[in-house]
Chains A and B, each alone.
Chain A
Amino acid sequence: DAGITQSPRHKVTETGTPVTLRCHQTENHRYMYWYRQDPGHGLRLIHYSYGVKDTDKGEVSDGYSVSRSKTEDFLLTLESATSSQTSVYFCAISEFPDGPLNTEAFFGQGTRLTVV
């Protein structure tokens, strides 16, 4: 497995509380992504980063914020968790997502978040 670790792996939280998920990589890849995966929707992009302090929104970014202060860490924060944010969250890393080389996008093991 590529050097990518998500923490925590499982979390149950109450509605209205803040939650932060962490993605840590040891591959020194430039691009990092946060996705959520829900039945019937597949993987949907929340936010991504293309460098330290460089981030951009994905298709389902409402209610989420991210930060990347170091190359190796990409944090996803739910400022005030809602039940609709119950999901499995995946972090991914990539060196050249659209490059001519056959470069991989590696995924973490996922974080199962339940908001009650």
Chain B
Amino acid sequence: KNQVEQSPQSLIILEGKNCTLQCNYTVSPFSNLRWYKQDTGRGPVSLTIMTFSENTKSNGRYTATLDADTKQSSLHITASQLSDSASYICVVSAKGNNRLAFGKGNQVVVIP
């Protein structure tokens, strides 16, 4: 069973439009949640990290939200650019656990 589920698996959006990616998790007890961006052929790079007490965090045109009660997070991309084409991976860590639980990623393709 996967402790981190992401949706949609993939989506295509027009340049300049907004989109929202979803992450649901069952990891417990919760420590933090991170969103990574992975460009094709490269390693994941961190966008945001949120702890239990944080509801929202922004990094430029990327805004992540967290609802620790419902165990849901979203990543909103504003005014998408071609360079936003990538896989976006939700990663959750549990307290007292050295491991990270990974989602399978949301594949985003931005077209002109």
List the interface of chain A (C-beta within 8 A of B).
31, 33, 35, 40-45, 48, 50, 56, 58, 90, 97-100, 102-110
Q: Which residue of A lies closest to B57 (CB)?
A: A102
Which residue from B41, B94, B104 sits with its C-beta under 8 Å from A110? B41
**Cα–Cα distance between A31 and B93 once the two chains are bound (Å):** 14
**Cα–Cα distance between A91 and B45 once the two chains are bound (Å):** 13
Pairwise interchain contact B42-A110, C-beta atoms closer than 8 A: yes
Pairwise interchain contact B98-A107, C-beta atoms closer than 8 A: no
The interface size of chain B toward A, counting residues with CB under 8 Å, comes to 26
Which residue from B89, B97, B103 sits with its C-beta under 8 Å from A98? B97
Which residue from B45, B49, B98 sits with its C-beta under 8 Å from A102? B49
**Count of CB-CB pairs between chains A and B under 8 Å:** 60
**Cα–Cα distance between A44 and B89 once the two chains are bound (Å):** 13
Min CB–CB distance B76 → chain A (angstroms): 20
**Cα–Cα distance between A33 and B49 once the two chains are bound (Å):** 19
List the interface of chain B (C-beta within 8 A of A).
31-32, 34, 36, 41-46, 49, 51, 89, 91, 93-100, 102-105
A to B CB contacts below 8 Å, 24 in the list: A35-B102, A43-B89, A43-B102, A45-B99, A45-B100, A50-B98, A56-B98, A58-B99, A90-B44, A97-B93, A97-B100, A98-B93, A98-B94, A98-B97, A98-B98, A99-B31, A102-B32, A102-B51, A105-B34, A106-B46, A107-B36, A107-B43, A107-B45, A108-B43
Which residue from B91, B94, B95 sits with its C-beta under 8 Å from A105? B91
**Cα–Cα distance between A111 and B44 once the two chains are bound (Å):** 13
**Cα–Cα distance between A33 and B45 once the two chains are bound (Å):** 15
Contacts of B94 in A (CB 8 A): 98
Contacts of B43 in A (CB 8 A): 90, 107-110
Interface centre among A40, A43, A99, A105 (most CB of B within 10 A): A43
Which residue from A48, A90, A108 sits with its C-beta under 8 Å from B98? A48
Task: Add 17 more A-B contacts to A97-B93, A98-B97 (CB < 8 A).
Answer: A31-B98, A43-B44, A43-B89, A48-B98, A58-B99, A90-B43, A98-B94, A98-B98, A102-B51, A103-B49, A104-B46, A104-B49, A105-B100, A107-B43, A107-B44, A107-B45, A110-B43
